[in-house]
Amino acid sequence: MTRHISLKTCCYMQAVIIICTILAANLAPPPHGAMLLVSVSGLSTGAILNRAAAAGATPLRAGPLRASLVVFGDRNRLLAAGLPAGIIALPSSAAPCGQDNAGRARS
């Protein structure tokens, strides 16, 4: 017995894939630069700071969310140190507007 998927279902699946791809591209942090670190496991800002410092990142400021921090560093090192602890890295554009990629105020 062969199972067929309707054209409508295929269109929905393609739309979901396209939306997920766009979201992933916009939420991927840069290879090196300012990034917003957010704890999804309930860690404190201090614990995030310790992990970021261990990965060689420079703290720039507190993040806009509770348990978040904006740092300048290397994405791969930050992800290797943060993901096991439940810390995700987002681009600094996820941080408040009005600041450039290095965390400085735009003029």
Domain range list for the chain: 29-94
Query: What's residue 52's pLDDT?
Result: 95
Report the CATH fold assignment for 29-94.
Alpha-Beta Plaits (3.30.70)
Instruction: Please tell me the distance from the alpha carbon of residue 56 to that of residue 93, in angstroms, as a whole number.
Output: 21
pLDDT < 70 regions, the chain: 1-2, 94-107
Query: What's residue 106's pLDDT?
Result: 45
Handedness of CA 33, 54, 59, 64 (dihedral sign): positive
What is the strand order of the sheet 32-39 is part of?
A: 58-62, 68-74, 32-39, 87-91
